[in-house]
Amino acid sequence: MIRIRIVLYSSSLVLNLLIITFLVSNADESDNIAIYWGQNDNEGTLTETCATENYSYVIIAFLNKFGNGTTPEINLANHCDPSSDDCTKLSTDIKNCQRKGIKVLLSIGGADGDYGLASTDDAKNVSGYLWNKFLGGNSFSRPFGDAILDGIDFDIENSNGKQQYWEELAIFLKSHNTSTQNVYLSAAPQCPFPDGQLGVTLDTGVFDYVWIQFYNNPGCDYSQRVINDLLDSWKQWTESLMTGKVFLGLPASPAAAGSGYVPADLLCEIVLPVIRMSSNYGGVMLWATYYDKQSGYSNSIKSSLCTQQKAHECGGNDCHQKVDGKLNQEKVLHEIGGNAVISDKARSIEIDGQEKS
């Protein structure tokens, strides 16, 4: 049990949550950011994306056809034409990113596509394909040339609610770990818990990163200036996942998703100080590169200066927006599950949270 006590000797009830950011012992001042790349012609090259140095992970999206007898197929918008081996030119870009210490993963699945696994043998075959074509294996033809990706991302959204064999695929992929290469696995479940596609698969405990999609999911994403649903869902996820780092998945601009966009100032002042208290907090995942390029959202996260006093750092977002126009002490504490104890001489705030080993 972590008990944090903050005593404010001001008569004001306005709580400056940056104090919490400073005092919480396991708060990470430098948030890792994961970003999806590959689905918009105007997002720039992979090399340009990594050159911003805002991201720790870049996820190439998508391999959206595979399994069940389907010929595997990559869809990267107009970045390259896989049918003519044109995507081999990405080899240089991938290596450029990796030289900067950025992990590059391939996302399989997506919202649109033709994919699924028919059996354990099918899962094993898909694992072999991914290992030999994109990871550390060998193949006469490799879609991205001789570049060796760091891992595979599971963005399973379109398999008719069937969870069969995804866990086998994950375990088969992890079995390819060698003394020279670790196959990193990530997953992008929807925020309703448990995820209908990957719930069983995540229980395997083999995933290194889980970036939960807190968008396009009314009921557990941020909407109408209400953050309770998001924080409650985050708590449920982080307390249930025993392995790996958990990332808050968000749209990088209002145009990036139908719901779930969190204004940058609210993210920096309220959401991040709270979720950083989770022992398995990993950072923020953004959808996607094009929208981040337009909004500058990742700049706001990296700078941690998105406040009223630093409005110009918010990448064009409205930095003056507050929850119901003000940050009230009791309201914020209610939203983060704490209790306010206000004395005559001092304003004492106790926030209780649990730390997992």
- What CATH number is given to the structural domain containing 261? 3.20.20.80
Coil, helix or strand at residue 312: helix
Establish if 207 belongs to a structural domain. yes
In a domain, 162, yes or no: yes
Confidence (pTM): 0.81
pLDDT at position 159: 67
Residue 176 included in any domain: yes
Report which of 302, 315, 305, 296 is spatially closest to residue 32, judged by C-alpha positions: 302
Question: For residue 243, is it within any domain?
Answer: yes
Say if residues 85 and 145 touch (Cβ distance below 8 Å): no
Burial of 146 (0-12, 13-18, 19+ CB in 10 A): exposed
Rounded Cα–Cα distance for residues 9 and 346 (Å): 5
- Residue 303 is predicted with a pLDDT of 80
Residue 241 resides in a domain: yes
Catalytic, 157? Answer: yes
For 131, the token pair is 């290992």
42, part of any domain:
yes
Residue 15 belongs to some domain of the structure = no
pLDDT of residue 164: 84
| pLDDT-flagged residues of the chain (< 70) | 1-30, 159-163, 304-357
Kindly list the distances between the CA atom of residue 143 and the CA atoms of 39, 62, 191, in Å, as whole numbers in the listed order: 17, 13, 32
Which residue range(s) make up the domain with 236?
30-303
For strands 70-74 and 339-342, give the pairing: unpaired
Predicted pLDDT at 161 = 52
Q: What is the model's pLDDT at position 65?
A: 96
Structural domain includes residue 237: yes
Task: Name residue 119's amino acid.
Answer: S
Using alpha carbons only, what angle is made at residue 218 by residues 213 and 222, rounded to the nearest 5 degrees?
A: 70
Residue 158 is predicted with a pLDDT of 81
**Angstrom distance (rounded) from CA 302 to CA 292:** 13
How many structural domains is the chain composed of?
1
Q: Are 63 and 315 in contact (CB under 8 A)?
A: no
CA separation, residue 104 to residues 50, 66, 99, 144, 183 (Å): 10, 20, 11, 12, 11
pLDDT attached to residue 162: 57
The single residue of 157, 167, 168, 335 carrying the catalytic annotation is 157
Per-residue pLDDT of 207-236, as tens digits, reads 999 999 999 999 999 987 789 999 999 999
